[in-house]
Amino acid sequence: MLHLLESDDPGAPFPDVEQAETEPNGLLAIGGDLSSTRLISAYRRGIFPWYSQGQPILWWSPDPRTVLFPDELKVSRSLRKTLRKGRFTVTMDHAFGQVVRECAAPRAHETGTWLVPEMQMAYLDLHRSGIAHSVETWRDDALVGGLYGIALGQVFYGESMFSRESDASKVALVYLTHCLIAWGYRLIDCQVYSDHLISLGAREIPRREFVALLHRWVDTGGRAGSWDMGAVETPPLAARPPSSE
């Protein structure tokens, strides 16, 4: 039975994630609001919102959970070649709103988006608070790829990415991972399985293990405030050697 969240009490606790449905996998609660208080409380517990226009807010915590440990990022030979060519410039927190709008645009063969307008505004509020961050990939003066997510403690919760040119979003992920390693981050939450994420080094772990890692890392370390450090013309390669792809 789904837990109903009241919209007038953003500080009310979420139910234990072990109460989530098995079908659909991870559906835990319904309703509530998208205030920064509610969202931070959710992410700290391994819960995230995901719903479409016209639906009530739906809260999820799937089992297993797809994660990427930063030092396990796989960089293929073709991606390393792209990085060496240096045809992209990368920034952080330079165009957060634009990245979110690009991520919200319908994908090929899709007509809708889960990034409904109120969701976009909620992440913009978190960005203004120094909690949500973006990585942008540029070709000349055009934004051609990027990603955004939430940073709490030593955990980065990846939300969405987009690409208008081949490898553009992967370049953003390589640079993000490089920075997260340097700053002492321990985990990137990828939420749900996709072949694309697995090809980049992500793997599935039991939800119980994921929540235990959050308890260990979500309250320590991290990098406060804006991540805007100016443009990087040639993003550094990942610390690990290239995969055999």
98 vs 76: CA distance, rounded Å:
28
Residue whose entry in the numeric block shows the structure tokens 């450090």: 229
For residue 3, what are the CA distances in angstroms to 12, 32, 68, 77, 84? 12, 10, 29, 47, 50
Q: Which residue has the higher pLDDT, 63 or 239?
A: 63
Residue 220 neighbours by CB distance under 10 Å: 11
| Number of residues that make up the chain | 245
Which of the 8 DSSP states describes residue 71? G
How far is residue 72's CA from residue 188's CA, in Å, rounded to a whole number? 11
Local confidence band at 4 (pLDDT 50, 70, 90 cut-offs): very high
The percent of residues in the chain predicted with pLDDT above 90, rounded, is: 82
241 is written with which tokens?
């050697």
Which pLDDT belongs to residue 245?
A: 37
pLDDT tens-place string over residues 150-185: 999 999 999 999 999 999 999 999 999 999 999 999
pLDDT at 238 over 60: no
Which structural domains are found in the chain, ordered by start? Answer: 3-62 (3.30.70.3550), 66-217 (3.40.630.70)
3-state secondary structure 77-115: HHHHHHHHHCCCEEEECCCHHHHHHHHHCCCCCCCCCCC
- Residue 189 pairs in a beta bridge with 67, 157
pLDDT digits (tens, 9 = 90+) for 43-69: 999 999 999 988 999 999 999 999 999
Q: Characterize the bridge pairing of strands 48-49 and 132-139.
A: unpaired
Contacts of residue 72, Cβ cutoff 8 Å, sequence gap at least 6 = 201, 203, 240
Q: What is the pLDDT of residues 114-151, one digit of tens each?
A: 789 999 999 999 999 999 999 999 999 999 999 999 99
